[in-house]
Structure 1
Amino acid sequence: MELSSLKFYNVIVLGFAFMLMFTGFQTCGMVEQTVLKSYRNDSIVNGTVTYNGDGYTSLAIIYVVFAFANWLAPSVVSVLGNKFSMVAGGITYTLYLSSFIKPITATLYIGSVLIGFGAADKQRIPLYIGLTSVCALGTALLLILRSHPIQKLEVGDPEEDQPSEEEEETSDEAAMLNDSLDVTHRLSWKLFLTRDMMILSITFFYTGLELTFFSGVYSTCVGATERFGEDSDKLVGLTGIMIGVGEILGGALFGIFGKKTIRYGRDPIVLMGGAIHMVTFLLIFLNIPDLAPLNKTPDSAYITPNTYLAVACGFLLGFADACFNTQCYSIIGTSYPDNSAPAFALFKFEQSLAAAIGFAYSSHLVLKWQLLILVIFAVAGVVAFFVVERKVRSRAEPSGSSYRNI
């Protein structure tokens, strides 16, 4: 198989594999708190609660481990290789999802560490069997990825291979990796201490907080609002679908067609994302009762809870998230072309750490305080992005480079 055809084949396989794995995991995250609270209520025996697992705590563990595991992942890849490292990661997702079929507090939290991973109880088992199967299928797809043989010699060379050189290269790989990891860690720390990166860190941190809200808290709130009627649990799934639709549309507009949408800079897109988030947070504040992140509640908010508005807010959350994330990736690639690996590592570290903090406080704060935190960091994140983006633009103009092609 030609190299170009092989790359296309691997991209297709990876796309379907990740789609299946994260369909399972992201769906789990959106309904996790609702499902576990329902199971906890069903686990009461003689007035004693026999199950104490908490979805927010589980997700907090996942993201705090993921934040620090980013720095260790290259070492794992060096030992297992690219394909089997991804397979190993997929297995941890699958094990985590399977722990919900028969929830046990210890296995839930152990599964959360391994990942670094609403409905009535009678609906839980088929739901998580399905999600586990989907994730397992995605993991299995990774096994059919193909590698391309290295072209070692020119045509006409009497010797077809040079195993001694290959062995020499392989033996040096581990040492080279250790050196590169050390360099990456030191560069990441130096980058973090620069003024631009410290300012951008505010934006990165906000993306982690709003990730917490749209991926776990908001769907829980919808499922806990009893004023939506008997179908409130079904709305959890519909809301999740609309979040995904918003992400896809935003990713297509600002990612795939990025060269056209960036014509006037990245800051208008981030400003639009921030404005959409502000409006959405206000609508959620008006539509969802204050206690919904913590428990099922018969209360109303400032208006009678409206199902159409709740679903529409899901779409807006996903679309605005895409505004922020596509532009964060873009500005990192532009500002740090020679140090993209440590810069992206910092982005994922800060985003994941913020997500872990967000899930940790979600178990304790009512909706209005969670929304207030998001509003404060949204404003700060947009302003921080503007400051760095203006500097990037001012550096590009004197050098004669085309900003539109950045």
Structure 2
Amino acid sequence: MSPEGKTLLNVIVLGLGFMVTFTAFGTCGNIEQTVIKSFNSTEFHGSGYTSMAIIYAVFSASNLIAPSVIAVIGPQLSLFFSGLVYSGYIAVFIHPYTSSFYTLSVLLGIAAAVLWTAQGNLLTINSKDSTIGRNSGIFWALMQFSLFFGNLYIFFAWHGKSHITDKDRQTVFITLTVISLVGNFLFFLIQRPDPELAPSDASESPLPADISDSSSSLCSQALDAFSKCDVEDYLNCSVETMWLPICPGLELTFYSGVYGTCLGAMTQFGEDAKGLIGLSGILIGVGEILGGGVFGILDKCNRFGRNPVVFLGIFTHIVAFYLIFLNIASDAPVAPEEGTQMQAFIQPSVTVALICSFLLGLGDSCFNTQLISIVGFLFREDSASAFAVFKFVQSITAAVAFFYSNYLLLHWQLLIMVLTGFLGTITFFVVEWGVINSRRDSDYDSI
């Protein structure tokens, strides 16, 4: 197999591994608040929103050590052991206890930092400047199939049920635990690329060395990761770049945990309300897959850079937020297990709710494919550290969002996402224009 074929296969296997793993975990996150509300036990006092806030808070801090872990044990083993923690978190819901629930939330925050930093590192070392956009799109589209399969299962398993019994919960989470374990072992199929052959374009910078080649101590790697020049550029030289992960962090919180809970709380949807959680997740996945696939395939044909795709993302999200504001009761995110009795601004429509799900997925794919692409392009020489910083900012934002989701009504959450969405889009435009100008200067100097 040619070096280019091997690296493309690695990206596909990476995407498939994440697809299977997040078929389990993404579905777990989508339904856990609804499951917790239905859990009949005086010994359990957990909150799905609080758990997610803990996960992302620990996630943000753990990004300080994630590059070091990858340096010591390598990206493949980092993915595998992190995936095992994901499986453990899912398994907690088979027989939930408050102490184990929150303990696994802390451990999952650490594992998530390692997992996503390893993903960014592997994606970058298997890409060139000319393929980073394509590979980002392929990875994102494959991973988002997880939303389709997991939520399809939830739709059929819970269709027509107004209450989730203990047996329903156990059946679902045993199945999800097994699925996540299968995904963990797929990561061992990733092959080491051929670094001496990969940079075939003379104008492209060589691929970075695999971070696992480093033999430095864990402590020194941790200090190194945030002191390198490229990461200093990320932190200090480009204030705009620091704002890039904020908008996706807030929207990740909303579509992965809050919106499904809102649909399940809408008594106006009748007995189909709980099943709509799964159907909504499917349509979010369809939007993610469509966006990731199209933007990955068309990356080489895009003469106008990344900005038009990001503009499409903010436009689709603004439309979705406005329709959700009209269609869903404002107290739906914090409603009790029996659901909300408040009225929306219009007669609640299942069709409108599901259209919004698709738009949320499409808009999110617009942001994330372009963000992965631009971070991989700007910080090619130190990709693991750059992705760690990127996830550090994103996860802090997500932790804050999951925390306030316990208290804020829907319209306030939507307003926050609209404002940060505009700010994030503008700052992305500034960063992308800087990339375009630097390319022009480079082309001029080479004449």
TM-score of the pair, normalised by structure 1: 0.84
Equivalence map 1:196-235=2 (5 Å): 196=238, 198-235=239-276
Equivalence map 1:7-406=2 (5 Å): 13-39=13-39, 42-43=40-41, 49-116=42-109, 120-121=164-165, 122-143=167-188, 173-175=214-216, 181-187=222-228, 190-196=232-238, 198-260=239-301, 262-295=302-335, 296-400=339-443
Change in Cα spacing, 1:15 to 1:186, as seen in structure 2 (3 Å) is same
Change in Cα spacing, 1:146 to 1:258, as seen in structure 2 (3 Å) is closer
Higher relative contact order structure (alpha carbons within 8 Å, sequence separation ≥ 6) = 2
Q: Is the 8 A contact 1:289 1:301 kept in 2?
A: yes
Alpha-carbon distance in structure 2 between the residues aligned to 1:340 and 1:150: 15
CA-CA distance at 1:173 after TM superposition: 4.4
Change in Cα spacing, 1:12 to 1:333, as seen in structure 2 (3 Å) is closer
CA-CA distance at 1:75 after TM superposition: 2.9
Amino acid at match of 1:26: G
Q: Is the 8 A contact 1:191 1:343 kept in 2?
A: no
Alpha-carbon distance in structure 2 between the residues aligned to 1:401 and 1:339: 26
Q: Is the 8 A contact 2:30 2:256 kept in 1?
A: yes
Change in Cα spacing, 1:391 to 1:78, as seen in structure 2 (3 Å) is closer
Q: Compute the RMSD of aligned alpha carbons.
A: 2.8
Change in Cα spacing, 1:4 to 1:177, as seen in structure 2 (3 Å) is farther
CA-CA distance at 1:108 after TM superposition: 1.0
Change in Cα spacing, 1:24 to 1:388, as seen in structure 2 (3 Å) is same
CA-CA distance at 1:182 after TM superposition: 3.4
CA-CA distance at 1:25 after TM superposition: 0.3
Change in Cα spacing, 1:366 to 1:83, as seen in structure 2 (3 Å) is same
Amino acid at match of 1:59: M
TM-score of the pair, normalised by structure 2: 0.76
CA-CA distance at 1:270 after TM superposition: 1.1
Amino acid at match of 1:265: G
CA-CA distance at 1:340 after TM superposition: 3.7
Alpha-carbon distance in structure 2 between the residues aligned to 1:120 and 1:24: 18
Amino acid at match of 1:137: V
CA-CA distance at 1:396 after TM superposition: 2.5
Q: Is the 8 A contact 1:250 1:319 kept in 2?
A: yes
Change in Cα spacing, 1:95 to 1:374, as seen in structure 2 (3 Å) is same
Number of residue pairs aligned between Structure 1 and Structure 2: 373
CA-CA distance at 1:67 after TM superposition: 1.8
CA-CA distance at 1:9 after TM superposition: 6.3
Change in Cα spacing, 1:395 to 1:76, as seen in structure 2 (3 Å) is closer
Q: Secondary structure at the match of 1:194?
A: helix
Unaligned runs of 5+ in 1: 44-48, 152-171
Report the structure number with the largest CA radius of gyration. Answer: 1
> CA-to-partner distance for each residue in 1:83-104, whole Å, 9 max, x for gaps?
3322211110111000001111
Q: Secondary structure at the match of 2:81?
A: helix
CA-CA distance at 1:191 after TM superposition: 2.2
Q: Secondary structure at the match of 2:348?
A: coil
Alpha-carbon distance in structure 2 between the residues aligned to 1:241 and 1:369: 26
CA-CA distance at 1:328 after TM superposition: 1.4
Q: Is the 8 A contact 1:223 1:232 kept in 2?
A: yes
Q: Secondary structure at the match of 1:53?
A: coil
